[in-house]
Amino acid sequence: MARTMTRHQPDSVVYLYGVTRPPVSNPPQVPGVDGESKIEALDCAGLICWVSRVPAEDFGENLSRKLEDLDWLAAVSVRHQRAVASIADKQDMLPARLGTVFLSDSSLQDDISKRKAVLETDFSRIQGSEEWGVKVFVLPARVNLPPKVRTGKEYLQAKSSLLQSRTPPKADEDVKRFAYELDQLGVATAEGGKISGGRRDLQYQVSVLVKRADRTKLQNLLRRFSRDWKDKRKIEITGPWPPYSFVSRESESKS
């Protein structure tokens, strides 16, 4: 979502949590990202924007600097996610990124009006669905090292075997089959984030959009592969989440 700033800031700015379709549901009973503001619904070109009026001192021109304060960022991130989850629990929602701020109601409404066609396409894609994060980790193979290493050659051989056991193989046919079945079950998939990308044991990572009605099918698929992969791989899943990975971002204004 867009961030709009000018040199002369008001006392407060409009913080956006996300967009839903009408009708308007009851506002979530959680505080806004500043810990004090109320969350309210605002009509935006026939869609509903969920916003808070937050201090411009923190969320205006100083926002980039405030985001460098890790304690402040952690508290704001938790409140943002809690607000988004509370709204998305009641209806389909296109969540906004953390730190999406507008100077006024009119600047937000103008932005939504310009992007309404894209947002309607997103709503059609995520309807009745939720996001899950899926990771596959390879388990280290057991290596029988000699009880005593007597020579330099034995040491190098033992070290080589140990290093090979810690290096995950490339995705084989089993993992490709798992990815295929997950793709067939889901409405859409998106590449996983980079947070775990540096882990040597991470073999596969994806975000998948799944119909709520298909949650049991997803659980059965994961259970089946976990059973087949016993002692070889471990599957980790997180969610359900609001569909952060499936909101079109390329069309957002950067002004």
- Taking only the tens place, the pLDDT of each residue in 126-184 is 999 999 999 999 887 655 555 666 666 666 666 565 555 544 455 588 899 999 999 99
Mutual angle of helices 173-185 and 215-228, in 10-degree steps: 170
Q: Report the DSSP beta bridge partners of residue 41.
A: 50
Do the strands 188-191 and 47-55 form a parallel or antiparallel pair, or are they unpaired?
unpaired
Report the pLDDT averaged over residues 59-86: 93
Report the pLDDT averaged over residues 66-82: 94
pLDDT score for 6: 41
Mutual angle of helices 105-114 and 116-126, in 10-degree steps: 70
Q: Is 35 left (phi over 0), alpha (psi -120 to 50) or beta?
A: left
Q: Is the pTM of this model over 0.75?
A: yes
Which DSSP string corresponds to 156-184?
HHHHHHHHHHHSPPPP-HHHHHHHHHHHH
Give pLDDT tens digits for 77-98.
999 999 999 999 889 999 999 9
C-alpha dihedral sign at 200, 204, 208, 211? negative
In order of their start, the domains of the chain are 12-127 (no CATH), 129-139+168-244 (3.30.70)
